[in-house]
Chain A
């Protein structure tokens, strides 16, 4: 089945220790998104790729970076995680600006 896959599902890191989250998709969608979602809140868009074009949201901290080496894969790098970065990180894809398909998410814990 076509899907969006995120690894790992759970990630524990130490304060300040870099972490990379991965996302892959078999939908062949040209747009990929990274969202941060905290408890009882709506997903907050961090950035997205439209094809190879990277778009950073204005309020996304510099601590967050992303890479998209090819159509299928996208990575979220958190260079120096702080306690406030503990959250669920959701990857999503879409064909142009149509409906978004979300992966199961990676829950990040920062100790």
Chain B
């Protein structure tokens, strides 16, 4: 069963606008962590933001925020004031306490920022 689902293969956003990248997850473990990574065309995987399953508030890191809706099992990434350098592939991922701590990734969303 797919544990992490990213339904948007590709997205476009105008420079300086905000964009939301969707992520839903599936787990029966009460303890888990949700992560977003950015992969530019150069290939490296860059950690962006983390949300814990017990966190009461949505995580924020600079222009990145995570819209965490636990009951819906969704963890959408919001990028505010998009920049050309935000053009990349974005991956949602999950670590479960019961599952060796490995990261399980979604299929990714390609974001293109238009000038």
A, B bound: no
